[in-house]
Each structure stands twice: as structure tokens, then as C-alpha cells.
């Protein structure tokens, strides 16, 4: 299958390829085409597809970025995730070839509809280790290395995609109990103490 034929497939059609079809496809591509295919369906999804029967058994190490988006009242934006009953920060996985700055700008736009400029990103910390372990409802387990950014300047109207049930700004002393990213919010609180 050529890259031109792949470009005509929907993301869902690519995800539905059998393992054998995927092996044949990837074997025929050069590294630039593999990166393009991976970025089209998302690096974690692509990696899992390439694992065949081990796809939900193998623990992935995954790089990404998350945003503490702060409004004028000092409140932070959280999203109620559609795939579980938890509130988390906007963010997501790094695609092949992306810088962390590119990842968070893209993810914030995709998940919140807000526009962010690179000069408005403040790196709080790279957060890693077993505290960043995340288990998904489909059985996938990942350990994330997360570039955590603070964003105080942004434009656009808040609107969310299918990954979220709701988005809302919260006071730091009135956060929901069912959090997806308490470690990252803790790092933000420590960041504020150091300022």
C-alpha cells in the first residue's frame, strides 16, 4: 500500500488494519512516511498497533506536555475527561518530531480551542517517574514524562472536543477530589511558592 492510498484512508480505517496488513504497510514505507503515518493516528495508538497481541500488555513510556491554564482570577482550567470520571489538565502525547512547545500549543488548541504563543509558555518542570503512571479504561498502561507549562496569556473562546465532558476554571483551594493529575497540580503549587 502506497502513502497516497494511506492518505485516502480515514484515521479509523487505519486503526482497523490487521496486524499483518500493518506489518506489510510499515515495511514498505521509509522513515519519513512512518513518521507521517504515526502522527496521523497518534504515536501511542501507532505504537500499540505495531505490537500485535501485546498491544495492551506492554507498558509504554510516553512523552507529552500538560498545561496549567490560568485565568485573570488565578483559577486553573480543568477538563472532565470523557473516558473516565476524573478532572485533568489539558495536554497530551508528543508526536514524532515535535518539540514539547509544539505539543502543548497543539494540544491546548485541540482540547480547549484556545490559542497560545510559544513566548507565553512558562516551563514549570519536567515531571517523570512512577507517579506519572496512568491506566486507561481499555487496559493500556503508560508512564508519562510530562513537560508541565504554565499559561497565563491566551486568546480564543473556550470550547472542548470529544475528549472532554466539560471544562471549568477552579480556585486552587476548591479543586475537585477526583483528579487525574494531582502530582502536576502539586508541582504548580510548588512553582507558585517559589515565585
Average pLDDT, the chain: 91
Q: What is the pLDDT of residue 192?
A: 94
- Model pTM? 0.86
Q: pLDDT (tens digit, 9 = 90+) per residue, 87-116? A: 999 999 999 999 999 999 999 999 999 999
Give me the residue spans of the domains in the chain: 3-54, 60-194
As a whole number, mean pLDDT of residues 49-70 equals 89
pLDDT > 70: what percent of the chain? 99
Q: pLDDT (tens digit, 9 = 90+) per residue, 21-48? A: 888 888 888 898 899 889 888 888 898 8
Q: 2 falls in which pLDDT band (50, 70, 90)?
A: low
Q: What is the pLDDT of residue 1?
A: 62
Residue 131 has pLDDT above 90, yes or no: no
**Cell numbers at 33, concatenated:** 512516511
Helix axes 19-27, 43-50, angle to 10 degrees: 110
Residue 63 has pLDDT above 90, yes or no: yes
CATH assignment of 60-194, given 3.90.79.10, 1.20.1600.10, 3.40.50.300, 3.30.479.30?
3.90.79.10
Residue 3 has pLDDT above 80, yes or no: no
As a whole number, mean pLDDT of residues 150-158 equals 97
Q: What is the pLDDT of residue 104?
A: 98
Pick from 15-24, 155-164, 165-174 the range whose average pLDDT is largest.
Answer: 165-174
Residue 152 has pLDDT above 80, yes or no: yes
Amino acid at each position: 500500500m502506497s502513502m497516497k492510498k494511506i492518505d485516502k484512508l480515514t484515521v479509523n480505517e487505519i486503526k482497523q488494519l490487521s496486524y499483518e496488513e500493518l506489518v506489510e504497510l510499515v515495511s514498505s514505507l521509509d522513515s519519513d512516511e512512518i513518521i507521517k503515518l504515526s502522527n496521523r493516528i497518534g504515536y501511542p495508538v501507532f505504537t500499540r498497533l505495531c505490537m500485535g497481541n501485546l498491544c495492551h500488555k506492554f507498558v509504554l513510556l510516553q512523552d507529552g506536555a500538560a498545561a496549567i491554564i490560568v485565568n485573570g482570577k488565578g483559577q486553573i482550567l480543568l477538563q472532565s475527561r470523557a473516558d473516565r470520571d476524573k478532572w485533568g489538565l489539558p495536554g497530551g502525547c508528543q508526536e514524532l518530531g515535535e518539540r514539547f512547545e509544539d505539543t502543548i500549543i497543539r494540544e491546548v488548541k485541540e482540547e480547549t480551542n484556545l490559542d497560545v504563543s510559544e513566548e507565553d509558555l512558562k516551563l514549570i518542570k519536567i515531571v517523570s517517574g512512577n507517579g506519572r503512571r496512568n491506566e486507561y479504561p481499555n487496559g493500556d498502561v503508560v508512564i508519562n514524562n510530562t513537560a508541565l507549562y504554565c499559561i497565563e496569556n491566551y486568546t480564543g473562546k473556550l470550547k472542548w472536543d470529544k475528549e472532554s465532558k466539560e471544562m471549568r476554571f477552579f480556585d486552587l483551594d476548591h479543586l475537585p477530589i477526583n483528579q487525574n493529575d494531582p502530582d502536576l497540580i502539586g508541582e504548580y503549587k510548588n512553582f507558585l511558592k517559589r515565585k
